[in-house]
């Protein structure tokens, strides 16, 4: 990043590792410099990268399942609480015509 006095900002994307130069006034992208294609050095390195990627995906999926179960339990608890808090004596609700 550059100082506030500069008219352009230099930003590096953490995902694709490209460098962008952006006009500070208008926000327009002036230049995109793509990095050289980074090849893995060995097949074992590629396998390790893929294994870590699969582990991360599995972890994110397990976390999503855990959060969904927790959400479901919370909703069931709230529903049971609201059901028990109602005063239902078995009589039908009053008709709107009875108030006239």
pLDDT in tens, 18-71: 899 988 888 888 888 988 766 667 888 889 989 999 999 999 999 999 999 999
Which residue, among 44, 4, 50, 45, has the nearest Cα to 25 in the 3D structure? 4
Which residue, among 36, 55, 52, has the nearest Cα to 44 in the 3D structure? 52
Read off the pLDDT band of 100 (50, 70, 90). Answer: low
Q: Quick one: tokens of 61?
A: 């999926």
8: helix, strand or coil:
strand
Question: pTM of this prediction?
Answer: 0.45
Residues constituting the chain: 100
């Amino acid at each position: 990043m550059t100082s506030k006095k500069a008219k352009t900002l230099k930003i590096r994307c953490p995902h694709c590792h490209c460098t962008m130069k952006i006009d500070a006034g208008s926000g327009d992208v002036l230049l995109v410099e793509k990095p050289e294609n980074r090849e893995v050095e060995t097949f074992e390195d590629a396998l390790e990268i893929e294994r870590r990627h699969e582990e991360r995906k599995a972890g994110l999926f397990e976390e999503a399942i855990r959060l969904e179960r927790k959400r479901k339990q919370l909703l069931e608890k709230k529903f049971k609480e609201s059901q028990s808090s109602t005063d239902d004596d078995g009589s039908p609700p009053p008709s709107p015509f009875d108030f006239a």
